[in-house]
Amino acid sequence: MITIKSEREIELMREAGKLVSLMHQFIRPYIKEGITTKELDQLCEEFILSHGGVPSCKGYEGFPCALCTSVNEEVVHGIPSDRALKNGDIITIDVVIGYKGYQGDAAWTYAVGEVTEEDSYLMEHTEKALYEGLKMIKPGNRIGDISHAIEEYATEHHLGIVRELCGHGIGKEMHEDPEVLNYGPPNTGARLKPGMVICVEPMLTFGKRFVNLLEDDWTVVTTDGSKAAHYEHTILITEDGYEILTPQLD
């Protein structure tokens, strides 16, 4: 069932989203060679708690940390560890924060120092694929229109689309209906209505689209070792389009 949020719920989801945005803004300057992913996680967890938020990933189906930190060929759900970032790495920070009972969710891929032209291309066009998907969001359009726009953009740019994972509705729960796939035919799926809130999150690879699950049972990596990028926003569907609840702050 896809829930329609009330004005009051929307206001709380805006606040949850704002906290997600603030956390990304807070952590950005720390993403440098030498810092470990566990240190990033600890900084973010303290930030979330000190702002009255709940680190919703921690304990979710047994996930141990506040952040998912996915480096290079890791696509999603990387577990923070003693791994230190190196110049030239790319790292996706994905976080879900609960605030007064509502969830906000956003992922962003960051460059560590100087990255290759290929990595910049991957990051740039994964982000753009997200925005191509968002352009389709207005009442009356359908979920499949978003999926198709992302697929078309990614394919035109020769990037692999990871199919095993997808976006989702969000609200009191981190994962609600509907699923928001990153590929598929237009004019299919649920119709978008004002008051729905969804997460749109293309996960694209520089090589083949295939992935494996590591033995930790969480980390998803590309099978061919190619790098992956992931951009995600929490989006409110409005009367005439959409509002990004997790805007990127400078």
Binding site for ligand MF3 (CB under 6 A): 57, 60-61, 63, 68, 77, 94, 96, 105, 199, 201, 232
Task: Build a one-symbol-per-residue string for 167-206: x at contacts with Co ion by CB under 5 A, - elsewhere.
Answer: --------------------------------x-------
HSE, side-chain direction, 13 A CA sphere, residue 172: 8
Of the pair 96, 112, the CB lying nearest ligand MF3 is at 96
CB of 104 to ligand MF3, least distance (A): 10
Which is nearer to ligand MF3, 151 or 201 (by Cβ)?
201
Helix (H) / strand (E) containing 26: helix 7-27
Least distance (Å) between residue 113 CB and Co ion: 27
* Nearest residue (CB) to Co ion, 115 versus 168: 168
CB of 168 to Co ion, least distance (A): 6
Cα(127)–Cα(250) distance, integer angstroms:
16
From 100, 91, 83, 98, select the one nearest 27 (Cα to Cα): 91
Q: Taking CB under 5 A as the rule, does residue 105 contact Co ion?
A: yes
Residue-by-residue DSSP string for 102-170: EEEEEEEEEE-SS--HHHHHHHHHHHHHHHHHHTT-STT-BHHHHHHHHHHHHHHTTPEEP-S--EEE-
User: Which parts of this chain interact with Co ion (CB under 5 A)?
Assistant: 105, 199
